[in-house]
C-alpha cells in the first residue's frame, strides 16, 4: 500500500519552535517536487491550519489516503498524531537514526527543518519498510507504562546518588569499603553508621563494647551478625591511616564539610526511595486493570517488576505479526552484514530497543537459565561454544521475550486460563519443581566438566 501512496506529508517536529511540514505528491508514478515548508504552531489552531493546508493542496474533502510521517521527538508527536489520525490520515514514524542517514543523502553539508521534513516525506516512496505505524495504546496500558518508566528513572537516580555517596566515602573510608560487600553498604546498620561517624577516629574512641551495644541498637532484624565486627575492624584500619596522614600533614580534611555533604546525599537517597515506594503502591493498583501481568509472572525469572515492564512495553501485542518482529523490537538481535553469497556472523547486537526492557530481560535471564531446563541447556551450549556470559544473557533474554509474546498473544486471542508449560530438554511436560531440579543437575554437570 505504501508504494502507491499519492500524497505524503513529512513533518519535522520541534519542542519550542514551530513545526515544519512538507507535502509531496505522486501523480501517475511521477513524484512532483515538494512545496516549500509549511510552519504551524503546537496548538489546535496550528493543527487545524495544517489540516486545511493539506486539503487545499490535495483538493480533497478529508485526509483519507494521505500518509503522514513524523520523527518521534520527545512526546510532542502524540497530540499531533492523534489529531491527524482522527481526521483520517495514516500516521507513521521513522526512527531518528534512519532519518539522519537519509538526510545526508539529500544534503550532506546542510541541515535545516525543511530538509528534515522533505526527507521524512520521501521515506514512504523510497523506503516504505522503514515506516512504523503508530498504534493507539489503551489507557490502562498507558498508565502502567508511565508508572513503570517513572520507577525505572527513580531507581536509576537512586543508584547514581548512591555511587556519589560511595565516592565521597572512598576518600576516608576505603579500608572499610574494601571489607564490605556491595549489598551491605546501604543496609540499615551501615546507613546509621555513616550518619553518625564521619571521622573513623571517633569510632575508635567509642571502644569495642560500647560500639557493639550501639550496633545492636541500630541493626535491623535481618542484619548479618558479622557486620558489626566488619565495621569495627574497618574503622580501626581507617583511623590508623588517618592518624598517620594528618600527623605528617600529608592531607588536610574539613571533617565538618564532609559530614554535611554526606548527610545531604543520604537525605536525597532516602527521599528517592520513598518516591519509589509510592510508585510501587500506584503500580500495584494499576496492575488490577492489566491482568496480563499475572500471566507473565509465570515465566521463569520474571517477578512483579519485570512482569510490569514486559506488559507495558510489549502491549498491544498485535503490533507484532511474528515472533521475529517481536525479537527485533527488543533489540536483542545481532546486526546483519552480507556481501555476495557470504554472511558475516557474530556481530554485536543492535542499539535499538527499549533500554528498560533490555535491562530487565538480562536480569530475568540470570535467574531463568537456572530454573528452566531448556534455557539451561541452551545457555550451557553457548558457554561451551566459547560465548561470553553477557552474550549468553542476551540470547536467553530474547527467548524470554518471545515466550512472553506467546503468552500475551494467546491471552489477547481470548484463550482462558493461559498457563506457562514447563518442559524438560526433550520437550516433555514436567512440574515447576522438577524443572528446577533438572536445571540444577544440568549446571552441576557443566561445572563438573569445567573442573
Please say which residue of 133, 160, 191 terminates a domain. Answer: 133
Name the residue range of residue 426's domain: 291-450
Residues shown for the chain: 451
Whether residues 173 and 158 share a domain: the answer is yes
Whether residues 171 and 223 share a domain: the answer is yes
C-alpha pair distances (Å), 111 with each of 9, 160, 215: 19, 36, 63
Whether residues 272 and 299 share a domain: the answer is no
Whether residues 254 and 368 share a domain: the answer is no
Please say which residue of 229, 255, 285 terminates a domain. Answer: 285
List, in sequence order, every beta strand (DSSP E) within 5-118: 7-12, 19-27, 30-31, 38-40, 66-70, 90-93
Whether residues 316 and 443 share a domain: the answer is yes
Please say which residue of 264, 285, 306 terminates a domain. Answer: 285
- DSSP symbol at 10: E
| Cβ atoms of residues 137 and 316 within 8 Å | yes
Domain total of the chain? 3
Residue 296: closest CA among 354, 360, 359: 360
Whether residues 170 and 274 share a domain: the answer is yes
- Euclidean distance between CA atoms 282 and 271, whole angstroms: 17
400 CB-near residues (< 8 Å, 6+ apart): 299, 300, 301, 302, 361, 364, 365, 368, 375
73 CB-near residues (< 8 Å, 6+ apart): 13, 14, 15
Residue 308: closest CA among 297, 300, 316, 323: 297
Whether residues 112 and 255 share a domain: the answer is no
Whether residues 438 and 386 share a domain: the answer is yes
Strands 30-31 and 66-70: unpaired
Helix, strand or coil, per DSSP, at residue 423: strand
The values of phi and psi at residue 60, to 5°, are: -100, 170
Whether residues 209 and 90 share a domain: the answer is no
164 CB-near residues (< 8 Å, 6+ apart): 265
| Cβ atoms of residues 368 and 375 within 8 Å | yes
Whether residues 168 and 253 share a domain: the answer is yes
What's 87's domain CATH number? 3.30.420.140
- Euclidean distance between CA atoms 191 and 220, whole angstroms: 11
* Crossing angle of helices 227-248 and 208-218, rounded to 10°: 130
The alpha carbon of residue 78 and the mean position of all alpha carbons in its chain are separated, in whole angstroms, by 20
| Cβ atoms of residues 403 and 420 within 8 Å | yes
From first to last of its 451 residues, the chain has per-residue pLDDT tens of 444 558 899 999 998 899 999 998 876 556 666 668 899 999 999 999 999 999 998 888 899 989 999 988 888 899 999 999 999 999 999 988 888 888 888 777 788 888 899 999 989 888 888 899 988 889 999 999 999 999 999 999 999 999 999 999 999 999 999 999 988 999 999 999 999 999 999 999 999 999 999 999 998 878 888 999 999 999 999 999 999 988 888 888 899 999 999 999 999 999 999 999 999 999 999 999 999 999 999 999 999 999 999 999 999 999 998 898 898 888 887 777 777 777 776 677 777 788 999 999 999 999 999 999 999 999 999 999 999 999 999 999 999 999 999 999 999 999 988 999 999 999 999 999 999 999 999 999 998 888 7
Whether residues 418 and 313 share a domain: the answer is yes
Whether residues 215 and 177 share a domain: the answer is yes
| Cβ atoms of residues 372 and 441 within 8 Å | no
Amino acid at each position: 500500500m505504501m508504494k502507491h501512496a499519492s500524497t505524503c506529508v513529512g513533518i519535522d517536529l520541534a519542542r519550542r519552535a514551530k513545526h515544519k511540514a512538507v507535502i509531496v505528491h505522486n501523480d501517475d508514478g511521477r513524484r512532483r517536487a515538494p512545496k516549500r515548508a509549511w510552519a504551524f504552531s503546537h496548538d489546535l489552531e496550528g493543527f487545524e491550519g495544517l489540516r486545511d493546508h493539506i486539503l487545499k493542496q490535495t483538493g480533497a474533502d478529508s485526509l483519507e489516503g494521505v500518509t503522514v510521517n513524523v520523527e518521534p521527538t520527545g512526546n510532542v508527536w502524540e497530540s499531533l498524531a492523534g489529531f491527524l489520525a482522527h481526521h483520517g490520515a495514516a500516521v507513521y514514524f521513522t526512527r531518528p537514526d534512519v532519518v539522519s542517514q537519509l538526510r545526508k543523502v539529500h544534503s550532506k553539508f546542510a541541515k535545516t527543518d525543511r530538509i528534515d521534513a522533505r526527507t521524512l516525506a520521501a521515506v514512504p516512496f523510497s523506503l516504505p519498510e522503514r515506516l512504523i505505524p503508530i498504534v493507539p495504546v489503551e489507557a490502562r496500558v498507558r498508565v502502567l507504562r508511565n508508572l513503570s518508566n517513572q520507577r525505572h528513572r527513580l531507581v536509576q537516580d537512586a543508584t547514581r546518588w548512591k555511587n556519589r555517596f560511595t565516592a565521597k566515602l572512598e576518600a576516608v573510608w576505603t579500608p572499610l569499603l574494601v571489607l564490605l560487600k556491595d549489598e551491605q553498604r546501604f543496609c540499615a546498620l551501615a546507613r546509621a553508621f555513616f550518619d553518625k561517624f564521619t571521622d573513623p577516629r571517633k569510632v575508635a574512641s567509642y571502644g569495642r563494647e560500647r560500639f557493639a551495644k550501639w550496633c545492636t541498637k541500630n541493626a535491623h532484624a535481618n542484619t548479618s551478625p558479622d557486620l558489626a565486627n566488619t565495621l569495627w575492624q574497618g574503622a580501626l584500619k581507617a583511623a590508623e591511616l588517618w592518624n598517620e596522614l594528618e600527623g605528617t600533614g600529608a592531607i588536610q580534611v574539613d571533617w565538618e564539610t564532609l559530614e554535611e555533604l554526606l548527610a545531604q546525599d543520604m537525605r536525597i537517597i532516602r527521599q528517592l526511595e520513598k518516591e519509589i515506594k509510592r510508585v510501587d503502591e500506584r503500580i500495584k493498583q494499576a496492575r488490577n486493570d492489566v491482568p496480563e501481568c499475572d500471566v507473565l509472572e509465570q515465566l521463569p525469572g520474571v517477578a512483579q517488576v519485570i512482569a510490569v515492564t514486559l506488559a507495558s512495553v510489549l502491549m498491544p501485542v498485535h503490533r507484532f505479526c511474528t515472533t521475529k518482529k517481536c525479537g527485533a523490537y527488543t533489540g536483542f538481535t545481532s546486526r546483519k552484514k552480507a556481501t555476495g553469497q557470504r554472511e558475516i556472523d557474530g556481530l554485536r547486537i543492535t542499539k535499538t530497543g527499549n533500554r528498560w526492557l533490555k535491562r530487565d530481560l538480562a536480569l530475568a535471564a540470570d535467574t531463568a537459565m537456572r530454573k528452566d531446563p531448556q534455557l539451561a541447556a541452551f545457555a550451557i551450549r553457548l558457554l561451551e561454544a566459547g560465548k561470553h556470559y553477557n552474550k549468553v544473557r542476551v540470547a536467553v533474554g530474547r527467548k524470554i521475550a518471545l515466550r512472553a509474546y506467546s503468552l500475551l498473544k494467546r491471552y489477547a486471542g481470548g484463550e482462558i486460563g493461559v498457563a506457562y508449560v514447563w518442559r524438560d530438554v526433550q520437550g516433555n511436560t514436567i512440574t515447576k519443581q522438577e524443572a528446577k531440579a533438572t536445571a540444577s543437575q544440568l549446571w552441576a554437570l557443566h561445572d563438573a566438566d569445567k573442573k
